[in-house]
Copies of this chain bind each other. A is one copy, B any other.
Amino acid sequence: MDIISEELNQKYNIVLASGSPRRKEILTQAGLDFTVIKSEGEEVITNSDPSMVTMELSRQKAIEVYDRINGTYEASSDIYAKEKPIIVIGSDTVVAIDGQILGKPKDEAEAVCMIQKLQGRSHSVFTGVTIVLQSGEAENTVTFACETKVHVYPMSNQEIENYVLTGEPMDKAGAYGIQGLFAKYVEKIEGDYLNVVGFPLSAFWRELQKMLNR
């Protein structure tokens, strides 16, 4: 059976464990109603493989928020007051080039350096996703990661500086937003576009259907 967004909204309390405005937009675009509860724990990375890192961080975020909601059960929080099972979604995105992980730039100078690395060649974007689905007293947890290759046209230093001056890079992994002004410089991608924006919607949708049909 295929569950459509409206059914999902009626049957579950969906929680996004991420404050990213891009993730909120993507899930809203998919027709989902959800609450945002940001994870607060320190991110612990035990891996250097970018795909594994994003899975690990997505799981930490989702489980922390799931446990936090469960801890407030007695206090009958808004989430629980609705008496529906919870779905918590955790997600983490990194940009990787030559085995190096690029996070969010600390300042404009670092943003310039990151884009100088990315221009004129291809790199990978990884997003890890963890879905925690409450089922009675227990829960099911699924974690996966998606990779998309992104090819960036050669950029002059002037173009890079102009781009950084727009302020767009500052809150973004790899110092660019494919959905913003940087789209001018993206030659092509291989993989899911929304994965680069920050959330692999179609893969998430299929994993969620599988979990619900189990």
Q: Which residues of A are at the interface with B, using a C-beta cutoff of 8 A?
A: 2, 4, 26, 29-31, 148, 153, 156, 158-159, 162, 178-181, 183-194, 201-203, 205-206
Contacts and interface: CB of A to CB of B under 8 A. Distances in A.
A180 B2 CA distance: 19
Instruction: Please give the count of copies of this chain that the complex contains.
Output: 2
A2 B183 contact: no
A24 to B, nearest CB: 15
17 contacts: A2-B159, A2-B162, A4-B159, A4-B162, A29-B180, A29-B183, A148-B188, A153-B206, A178-B193, A183-B202, A184-B202, A185-B202, A186-B193, A188-B192, A189-B190, A189-B193, A190-B190
A142 to B, nearest CB: 17
Contacts of A188: 148, 190-192
A153 to B, nearest CB: 6
A30 B202 contact: no
Given A188-B192, A202-B186, A202-B187, A181 B2 contact: no
A178 to B, nearest CB: 8
Contacts of A187: 192, 202-203
Contacts of A29: 179-181, 183
Contact of A183 (B30, B148, B183, B185): B30
A180 B202 CA distance: 12
Given A4-B159, A189-B189, 4 more contacts: A30-B184, A186-B192, A187-B203, A189-B190
Nearest to A163: B4
Contacts of A202: 153, 183-187
A206 B193 CA distance: 21
A83 to B, nearest CB: 27
A44 B183 CA distance: 32
